[in-house]
Amino acid sequence: MMTEQLSTIARPYALAAFEYALDKNDLAGWEGMLSDAALVVKNKTMKGLLQNPDVTSGQIADIFLIILAKELDTEKKNFINLLAEYERFPVLPEIAKLFTELRLQYEKTIPVKIVSATPLDDAYQQKFIDALTRRLKRKVTLECEVNNSLLGGAMIYAGDKVIDGSIKGKLNRLIESI
């Protein structure tokens, strides 16, 4: 299935789960359960079971209920059974992703990944957080990664925005302008 198609199918489930979790003040519990359920779907053995016509969706639901037992209350069990009834287990990773996006939007938070040529110390990370919070008008959670192939500077990924502050990117832009 294409990503757009997955999102279209997953969106109502993610939205319903999010609204319920928000109402019950259990965003973390639901997000954790959906994330773990998405990992189960991605498991090689589970993929085989999901594609096996001899295995019923009820049997698949039972497997999920056993694996996720410690995380499930009645409502989460009902959600798993609903996914089974409509054979929506393959879209669970997309449901989990959309749920997280809804939570981040609700909390006015954006995850930002900074890829730099060298490690960023705590003071520099805080400068990035402060500047990006002002620019994006959202609370920023920062993830840092080092990529030795960058000559210097950094690449910043915030949602669908990419800010290329790398020396390599600046050189490429200079070459293109000539």
Three-class SS state of 18? helix
Tokens found for residue 53? 């016509």
Domain range for 144:
109-177
Task: Out of 105, 127, 160, pick the residue that ends a domain.
Answer: 105
Where among 60, 83, 105 does a domain terminate? 105
Gap between the Cα atoms of 99 and 105, Å rounded:
10
143, 113 in Cβ contact below 8 A? yes
- Regarding whether 169 and 131 lie in a shared domain, the answer is yes
pLDDT score for 1: 59
pLDDT in tens, 100-140: 999 999 999 988 999 998 899 999 899 989 998 998 888 99
Q: Average pLDDT of 40-67?
A: 94
Mean pLDDT (whole number) for 82-96: 95
Distance of alpha carbon 13 from alpha carbon 91, whole angstroms? 10
**Are 142 and 89 found together in one domain?**
no
